[in-house]
C-alpha cells in the first residue's frame, strides 16, 4: 500500500505544479498575507505576542485555503471531467488512492503555509529594525513552533481528507456546495476561538490551545480514515452523472 500511496502522491503533486494559475494565485496570497501582519509588529505593545498570534492563525489560514483550492483541482475536477473513471481502473486500493491524493494536496498547501510564516517572521524582524540590528531577533514561542510543525500539517491534511472524501462520495450537485460549507465551518470555528479569547481578556497562544487543536486534528484524521471504508468504486462512478 505504501508504494501505491507514493505513486498517487507524486502524480498529484506533479499535476498541481502544472496548474500554474492556481499555484500563482495561492503563492500570491501566501506572500501578501505573510507580509501584511508583519507591518503591525513594530506598532504592537508586545511584538512577540503579536508575532505568535499572527503565526498561529496565518499558518492555518493559508494552509486551509490553499488546501481548499487544490482539493477542487484534485478531487472535484477529476470527477467533473470523468478522469476518475480511468484512474479507478488502476491496480490501487481505494484507500491508497484517497490517501495519496490527500497527501498530494496537503504537501503544497503546507509548503505555502511555511512560506507565508517564514516571510512573516523575516519582515517582522526587519520592521523592528533596532532589535534586528542588535541581534535580538523576534522568534515564535515553543507552543507556536509545535503548532506550526505538527498541528498545521495534520489539520490541513484532515480538512483535505474530509473534503476529498465527501467529493468522492457525493454527487456532482452536492459537490458544488460541500467544500464551501466545510471551508466556512472551519474558518468560523477558528475565528470563534480567537474572538472568545479576546473577550476573556486577551489572546495568548498556550500549550493547552495547541494541544486542543492537535486533538481535533487527530480525531478528524481518524474519523475520515474510518469513513473511507464506506467508499466503493461503484459508488464513485455512479455519482459522476
Convert the pLDDT of each residue in 42-93 to its tens digit.
676 777 888 888 888 888 888 888 888 888 888 877 777 777 777 777 777 7
Determine the average pLDDT of the residues in 111-132.
80
CB burial of 179-215 (b: ≥16 within 10 Å; e: otherwise) equals beebbeebeeebeeeeeebeeeeebebeeebbeebbe
Q: What is the CA radius of gyration of the chain?
A: 19
Task: Show the domain range for 19.
Answer: 2-238
Q: How far apart are CA 222 and CA 232, in angstroms?
A: 19
Residue 153 has pLDDT above 80, yes or no: yes
CA 207 to each of CA 45, 60, 232: distance values in angstroms, whole numbers, following the listed order = 22, 17, 40
What is the tally of structural domains in the chain?
1
Amino acid at each position: 500500500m505504501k508504494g501505491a500511496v507514493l505513486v498517487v502522491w507524486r502524480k498529484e503533486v506533479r499535476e498541481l505544479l502544472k496548474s500554474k494559475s492556481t499555484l500563482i494565485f495561492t503563492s500570491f496570497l501566501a506572500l501578501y498575507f505573510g507580509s501584511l501582519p508583519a507591518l503591525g509588529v513594530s506598532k504592537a505593545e508586545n511584538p512577540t505576542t503579536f508575532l505568535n498570534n499572527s503565526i498561529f492563525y496565518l499558518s492555518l489560514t493559508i494552509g486551509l485555503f490553499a488546501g481548499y483550492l487544490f482539493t477542487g483541482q484534485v478531487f472535484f475536477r477529476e470527477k467533473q471531467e470523468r478522469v476518475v473513471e480511468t484512474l479507478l481502473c488502476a491496480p490501487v486500493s481505494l484507500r491508497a488512492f484517497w490517501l495519496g491524493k490527500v497527501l498530494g494536496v496537503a504537501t503544497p498547501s503546507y509548503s505555502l503555509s511555511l512560506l507565508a510564516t517564514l516571510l512573516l517572521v523575516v519582515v517582522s524582524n526587519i520592521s523592528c529594525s533596532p532589535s534586528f540590528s542588535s541581534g535580538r531577533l523576534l522568534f515564535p514561542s515553543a507552543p507556536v513552533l509545535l503548532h506550526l510543525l505538527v498541528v498545521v500539517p495534520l489539520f490541513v491534511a484532515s480538512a483535505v481528507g474530509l473534503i476529498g472524501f465527501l467529493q468522492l462520495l457525493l454527487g456532482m450537485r452536492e459537490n458544488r456546495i460541500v467544500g464551501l460549507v466545510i471551508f466556512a465551518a472551519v474558518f468560523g470555528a477558528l475565528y470563534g476561538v480567537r474572538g472568545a479569547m479576546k473577550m476573556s481578556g486577551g489572546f495568548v497562544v498556550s500549550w493547552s490551545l495547541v494541544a486542543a487543536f492537535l486533538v481535533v486534528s487527530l480525531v478528524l484524521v481518524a474519523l475520515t480514515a474510518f469513513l473511507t471504508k464506506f467508499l466503493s468504486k461503484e459508488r464513485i462512478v455512479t455519482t459522476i452523472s
